[in-house]
Structure 1
């Protein structure tokens, strides 16, 4: 990996580029945007349409049938899906124009705001671009926010206009009584059921189907289109943070375009690439990535976590998953999804017998070293990994991972199985998702690369955690990010803005709260987080996030949250085990699966003891200290999903909620240890 920054005696780690230049290097989209005068997000779409007009831009899969199944008092949905259908770049641009005209004739004015509360889909991005073309700020809300969180975002931004979908309309309907300023709701229709049942929708709010919104008439001709300003607030992005009420982050066109340009350099994507989109567009990493892809002429195929693979929960038997149909060459992901992909692969291989499982695991283990022998990698892919690779379409060559730390073990395993380049990035909503990223040809794991194009970064001493920029052999400290990627701040939260943002030497800076270390090659490694650091009874510090990221690589663990009490000298953990592997653990301690339920297994002391021993052994192998490895565990099959409120939309643990939810269980574990 080439060094892309420098360390100074003050401990600064700075992007080595000329000062005063918003796009300082002539690479990626920089010269193209300059030549075309692109300074705003709709300008990027217009540029893409002007260059790639007849090329496929966005694809949506056909929904052929839907089946609803009742089981244990819950309703499960299975979908029969067909081929992908396309819209060209010119068609997407025209749709955005039509959306802009549609919202204007229904009363929205420049500098007004509109909420998008919708799943990731082509209409989401088209709606955002249509509003932005008329200087209308887009407010984004995660679909996994609670009803109170949705109402908070709508009311705080005082929006009169909400975009939603068929699936989410019932939730919007529920909160409208708490949102008196909303006058219009646009519904992106279901392919089979249109806007759905609207009997309970309030009569004082206009309900507009998306297809009706984009119909132009005589009124549209009288609408003038203002010119957006680069420093306008383009997006107010509400983050479902790990604590407290969702916060709206104000991002300008300039902030997001800086990320778009940086991604264009890092992603190395061309006209022939196909990108499979399933992460939330209400997450800045996904939004900036898709704008970059459109600017570069790639094709975006839309999916969802529920239909991604053939074994995804909403895929009807006999229907192929989206990845197999789309055959993507590029994907974005988050570590938890990567872990689930690997665990799913491992379970399928184990079902084929111990010999095949042994061969597969050894091939994964040694593939990195065997690649130095001519043709070995090709032979391994052909005879061992090819069938597994087909689960993601068989043509994937690059995956960008962000949102949380990716363990080196997961990184190496995913790269070996799917024979792809994995680029780990680091950022936050407050920095338009853009801080650092790995180079494509970097084979070293455990870090998040050097600063991205146009990003300034420095480390600042954190005395409480004993991290200093003078530490040897590598400087350590809180990561502070500066430059044009740093957002305007939190919407209507002046006190939090003072704590997190500041101006220095004409630049805006953001205190991330993450603790970083700079290695000898100039790459950043996230080693801790202020809020995750707990001092135990005898003075030892435990980094909860670091501990969890290592323990989660154990195949028996689906998810884990480590708890540390400052009055104790040990940690404990709540573990969501892999249900399938739990039966194998039970068999190993002499339990007959025909005599118990899986819920009873979780409460069985023999099973808990076996899982605990595996965790402790695995933790020691991963380099954890004796006080970091849990001394007790509680097993639960309760799902940790954004719907339960225990994790964020980006699948990060919400510690405050988990601590409250499992308060009595944690207390019981510590009581038994005393």
Structure 2
């Protein structure tokens, strides 16, 4: 029997060998790190540079031109893109060293803090590692936080030094008057505009282009380089604020390096692999992944959600998306991105007519079983799925998915269409992204794998939700984590630290707030979250997150938020429908295209009822109970993006903000049901 996790005598689940024994605490990286004396993140970079030297390390896409057009009162930007240009491992290490010396010459001292507020790019990671080399803590802020959230992070960390990028310079300029301690702003340049026009900074604040920061200086040799310690706070990572004001999580080198080592066990990655980076580096999953890839010798191609594919919103007609050019073999993703990719595929296939659509959908449905017939899998990949696979480069071998639960429907469909290994993982900022992860050979969907290397996991009863470790057939309860991945705590928040982190028998433990179930193979399934669980009028429990993850797989739905009032016996939902498919729904209820605007379609009762019937039917197919499926819907075309404040940078719903924003619509739906 293949085991993923095994229970120890003292009640903890740990990573298991195929024979069911605890996995030895070593990996491809752990022994070599130990031999090379690698105990910090900078040590991991130096190990990669020493071993892989002049091999390609970080690639940035050439920006050849920019076109701005006005459409419906909005300014849209289209980019003409060229090839990727490279920095080798040695060049990355050298630039990193120059960053560290450059900030020291500008007054930053060991044990100070700096803020990085920039989109994912090569300079982001080099800036962070340059600071860490001098025992300077890096505070990371999501670029999609509100101005209030950004100012909060800058002021709470009391930094005098900020890294930002050309495109975010206007926001920093706007915020600086609220941040009196800031003295220096380093700007990562735009390829065409440089740092742009001189901003109107407050007196005493200096702008430094990134390229100037890393220029040789006669004083370079005078800068002493302290030796970082494994227990230093390396990254002060601010959360995306899904439950309110962003909290800073204090992560040590050991925390993150343990996650890096665990990654080397879960993923068969090597120097021949190409990784496409487009998720925020201010998210711990992306940061830990890239550090692991550098240690393993892989090449990192930097991208953006706005230029990822040829149909991405910023790609100018005639230019190819980043994935087609980079031809990645591995990518990270969040479930919402995969849902959108699948919906885009579905729409394109439907446009080719019902016969091709039928063949394609049946091939997806039965591909897993047909793979056992000789040459069938090759035939389907070559003649049915190849054109779709080309949109992600045509060489993708594995996808790592985290950030939120992935529905089995999306998991199975992505695996069938793109012919990739999909490894779902589970973690949090407070555990350096590492709790559990699927093995590459695991083909069963609906779980997040067994414990990662170096992680100790157990369940605790949650009586309020009726989850107990004695439940049959599988134990259920709140997930508790221990081991070297557990963070130091929350920055300047002693009460919140005390509530989430605690000591037991010399171990440091973290309460995740998530409810899990562990199956007979030692694999974890996330079944609930304390803050997402609502008890309805007659005692039925509804897991809002679980319900939404399943309903979101309906092709007519772009996004959905389910609301549950504990004084009622039903749920309702606010739905962002797929604008392109809304006309198809209209046609199905007898509304001719052109008779109503798309906004009017969202308020038409016939459309609402049609969408509601689809949701109820789809929910039933997904195994939801009748009280979990919404009894009424409100349709809106308002985008739920981090910019609107309704979702986090990791695209998780911000329930508090959504509840306030749609308060009247939810009240109206319940009034109609009474």
Question: What is the alpha-carbon distance in structure 1 between the residues aligned to residue 590 and residue 67 of structure 2?
Answer: 40
What is the deviation of 1:263? 0.5
Q: Deviations over 1:394-443 (max 9, x none)?
A: 00000000000000000000000000000000000000000000000100
Name 1:502's counterpart in structure 2.
502
What is the deviation of 1:594? 1.2
Name 2:96's counterpart in structure 1.
96
Question: What is the alpha-carbon distance in structure 2 between the residues aligned to residue 398 and residue 628 of structure 1?
Answer: 33
What is the deviation of 1:10? 7.8
Question: What is the alpha-carbon distance in structure 2 between the residues aligned to residue 175 and residue 495 of structure 1?
Answer: 29
Name 1:44's counterpart in structure 2.
44
**Equivalent residues in 2 for 1:395-410, closer than 5 Å:** 395-410=395-410
Question: What is the alpha-carbon distance in structure 2 between the residues aligned to residue 169 and residue 273 of structure 1?
Answer: 34
Question: What is the alpha-carbon distance in structure 2 between the residues aligned to residue 382 and residue 198 of structure 1?
Answer: 53
Question: What is the alpha-carbon distance in structure 2 between the residues aligned to residue 242 and residue 88 of structure 1?
Answer: 38
Question: What is the alpha-carbon distance in structure 1 between the residues aligned to residue 11 and residue 535 of structure 2?
Answer: 26
Is 1:449 aligned to residue 463 of structure 2? no
What is the deviation of 1:13? 2.7
Question: What is the alpha-carbon distance in structure 2 between the residues aligned to residue 372 and residue 534 of structure 1?
Answer: 44
Q: Name the SS for the 2:651 alignment partner.
A: coil
Name 2:631's counterpart in structure 1.
631
What is the deviation of 1:199? 3.7
**Equivalent residues in 2 for 1:78-227, closer than 5 Å:** 78-227=78-227
Segment drifting more, 593-602 vs 448-457: 593-602
Q: Deviations over 1:214-236 (max 9, x none)?
A: 01211111000000000000000
CA contact (8 A) 2:450 2:522 kept: yes
Name 2:351's counterpart in structure 1.
351
Name 1:61's counterpart in structure 2.
61
Question: What is the alpha-carbon distance in structure 1 between the residues aligned to residue 598 and residue 567 of structure 2?
Answer: 34
Name 1:257's counterpart in structure 2.
257
What is the deviation of 1:264? 1.0
**Equivalent residues in 2 for 1:492-641, closer than 5 Å:** 492-641=492-641
What is the deviation of 1:24? 5.0
**Equivalent residues in 2 for 1:643-654, closer than 5 Å:** 643-654=643-654
Question: What is the alpha-carbon distance in structure 1 between the residues aligned to residue 5 and residue 578 of structure 2?
Answer: 42
Q: Name the SS for the 1:593 alignment partner.
A: coil
Question: What is the alpha-carbon distance in structure 2 between the residues aligned to residue 420 and residue 226 of structure 1?
Answer: 44
Question: What is the alpha-carbon distance in structure 2 between the residues aligned to residue 590 and residue 5 of structure 1?
Answer: 54
What is the deviation of 1:15? 4.3
What is the deviation of 1:11? 5.8
What is the deviation of 1:274? 0.2
Name 1:70's counterpart in structure 2.
70
Name 2:378's counterpart in structure 1.
378
What is the deviation of 1:5? 2.4
Segment drifting more, 390-399 vs 235-244: 235-244
Q: Name the SS for the 1:486 alignment partner.
A: coil
What is the deviation of 1:83? 0.3
Question: What is the alpha-carbon distance in structure 2 between the residues aligned to residue 2 and residue 246 of structure 1?
Answer: 41
Is 1:463 aligned to residue 463 of structure 2? yes
Question: What is the alpha-carbon distance in structure 2 between the residues aligned to residue 10 and residue 87 of structure 1?
Answer: 48
CA contact (8 A) 2:301 2:326 kept: yes
Question: What is the alpha-carbon distance in structure 2 between the residues aligned to residue 207 and residue 467 of structure 1?
Answer: 55
CA contact (8 A) 2:173 2:199 kept: no
What is the deviation of 1:198? 2.2
CA contact (8 A) 1:15 1:453 kept: yes
Name 2:20's counterpart in structure 1.
none
Q: Name the SS for the 1:218 alignment partner.
A: coil
Runs of 4+ residues over 4 Å off in structure 1: 8-12
Is 1:665 aligned to residue 668 of structure 2? no
Q: Name the SS for the 2:445 alignment partner.
A: coil
Q: Name the SS for the 1:650 alignment partner.
A: coil
**TM-score normalised according to structure 2 size:** 0.98
Q: Name the SS for the 1:464 alignment partner.
A: helix
Question: What is the alpha-carbon distance in structure 2 between the residues aligned to residue 90 and residue 218 of structure 1?
Answer: 22
Question: What is the alpha-carbon distance in structure 2 between the residues aligned to residue 4 and residue 258 of structure 1?
Answer: 19
CA contact (8 A) 1:119 1:165 kept: yes
Q: Deviations over 1:617-649 (max 9, x none)?
A: 111111111100100000001000111110011
Q: Deviations over 1:536-562 (max 9, x none)?
A: 011111000010011011110100000
Question: What is the alpha-carbon distance in structure 1 between the residues aligned to residue 120 and residue 15 of structure 2?
Answer: 33
Q: Name the SS for the 1:510 alignment partner.
A: strand
Check 1:227–1:24 CA distance in 2 against 1; reply closer, same or farther (3 A cut).
Answer: farther
Question: What is the alpha-carbon distance in structure 2 between the residues aligned to residue 147 and residue 241 of structure 1?
Answer: 13
What is the deviation of 1:16? 5.8
CA contact (8 A) 1:101 1:216 kept: no
Q: Name the SS for the 2:228 alignment partner.
A: coil
**TM-score normalised according to structure 1 size:** 0.98
Unaligned runs of 5+ in 2: 18-22
CA contact (8 A) 2:5 2:450 kept: yes
Q: Name the SS for the 1:638 alignment partner.
A: coil
Question: What is the alpha-carbon distance in structure 2 between the residues aligned to residue 126 and residue 473 of structure 1?
Answer: 49
CA contact (8 A) 1:477 1:515 kept: yes
Q: Name the SS for the 2:66 alignment partner.
A: strand
Q: Deviations over 1:560-611 (max 9, x none)?
A: 0000000111000000001111100000000011111110000000000000
CA contact (8 A) 2:12 2:456 kept: no
Segment drifting more, 499-508 vs 1-10: 1-10
**Equivalent residues in 2 for 1:223-234, closer than 5 Å:** 223-234=223-234
What is the deviation of 1:27? 1.6
Name 1:433's counterpart in structure 2.
433
CA contact (8 A) 2:14 2:450 kept: no
What is the deviation of 1:520? 1.1
CA contact (8 A) 2:479 2:516 kept: yes
CA contact (8 A) 1:11 1:475 kept: no
Check 1:588–1:214 CA distance in 2 against 1; reply closer, same or farther (3 A cut).
Answer: same
Name 1:20's counterpart in structure 2.
none
CA contact (8 A) 1:10 1:469 kept: no
Question: What is the alpha-carbon distance in structure 1 between the residues aligned to residue 222 and residue 150 of structure 2?
Answer: 34
Q: Name the SS for the 1:114 alignment partner.
A: strand
Name 1:248's counterpart in structure 2.
248
Q: How many residues align?
A: 670
Name 2:338's counterpart in structure 1.
338
Question: What is the alpha-carbon distance in structure 2 between the residues aligned to residue 211 and residue 637 of structure 1?
Answer: 42
**RMSD after superposition:** 1.3
CA contact (8 A) 2:14 2:453 kept: no
Q: Deviations over 1:79-129 (max 9, x none)?
A: 000000000000000000000010000000000000000000000000001
Q: Deviations over 1:320-355 (max 9, x none)?
A: 000000000000000000000110011011111111
Name 2:294's counterpart in structure 1.
294
